[in-house]
Structure 1
Amino acid sequence: MIDIQQVTKEFSGKIAVENLSLTVDDGKIFGFLGPNGAGKSTTIKLITGILPIEQGKITINGFDITEHPLEAKKRIGYVPDRSDVFLRLKGIEYLNFIADVYDVPTDIRKKRIEYYAKSFGIYESLNDHILTYSHGMRQKIVISGVLLHEPEVWILDEPLTGLDPKSSYTLKEMMREHANKGNIVFFSTHVLEVVEQLCDEVAIINNGHIEFLGNMSEMKQQFQDEDNLEKVFLELTQNE
């Protein structure tokens, strides 16, 4: 479970997230939507411990991200919105480095590296430097690294950006399978069709506040005059 209680984050006098509370239960794919600058990435960086929490509390499967950061982070797999990392390493060096960080045994990591690299079509490029990879390939190597230690909670910031249709389909299938095992997939996206297709629950954030929180059926009941998520999203964020 991801439990966010009354979290506020301020930058140079400007409030990015204000008194935000949110709970994501196990077994869910949770979509996190909002226009640029709404507080999506700030919230995700607070959940993952990248940004310190000034007010409020966040727990990941019972571990407070501030009081027990290592225990909480062991349970997280985080794909950032930018994949330009460790560019001077070869793909295989990067994956082995990530596996070392999370203490993935040698025999297990070898099987997982092969599985994910082949699933995303980058197996033949693992001995090339990440610097030579296309944007899409860099996204794939980052996703592969994130999944190596089989984290219980996936936190994905725009994970489908740059992926080709086959890899995008593969990742969406993995997301569904992960949630079906009783785990959590928390992801932000601008692709509203993916939200309608995949998500069990959705939150729409605007100006640091949650404007809607619930499942697709509840959204349709609340906005009976709107026939799709795009119209609801535009209505909720019309002042942006």
Structure 2
Amino acid sequence: MTKLFVQSKMLCEAGFPLHGFAVSGDYRFDGPAPQNEVVAQYRALRAALDTQWPLLRLQQVHGDGVVDAETALAALGQDDGWTSRPSLEGDALLSTGAEAVLGVLTADCLPILVACTDTGHVAAIHAGWRGLAAGVVRRTIRQLAAAGSAIDAMRCAIGPGICYHCYEVGDDLADKFPESVDPIGKNTGAWLLDLPNAAEVSLIGAGLSTVQIERLDICTVCAPEGLHSHRRDGDKSGRQLSFIAAR
């Protein structure tokens, strides 16, 4: 049987069993995959999770927008969100106890799942270089803290994304993430960017320590699982879904 998703050991041990990072199937409604196949993929995941809760997603725009789950639920109306496209824009979802599954789509960008052991609150973040530069991670952590969660009670899992060895960038991106790049040769203007490290730097900058962060270190470009990669496949690439629910 094909494995639908993998989980974070840290989040499981923290008491958040309803979470995961998809490693098979395509969850992109506006991509090349037939719509009936995408719908079937969402339904298969929901059945595997055995949940009646709705799925909340956003129209991701590579920014720093954080949307509360209650707001997203209101926008969803009577729909359950599992087989429809989202209407709200943003790049992070935050739940302070809503009975809903939070989801983000990625294909090289990083999915970051955050769980708070003291309050049970959670967040799902879509973090590419634009979102990291805009501060989406720090903003999400700040909002979780403002909702009552202690920063030292937070646990974060950084899911599948493009790895250091596959992410060649120019001077413009290197300047944005000086602590996460290495030059390729001398004076070439080419660099390798460690996006997971950049995300970890953002989390640490928000007040977390390294022991609160788990990196799955699965590359969407070169991992044998055959994950979706926009850099490798261009516009025809599919999307992975990563998800989490509050307890």
State the TM-score, normalizing by the size of structure 1: 0.31
Greater per-residue helix proportion: 1
Larger radius of gyration: 1
State the TM-score, normalizing by the size of structure 2: 0.30
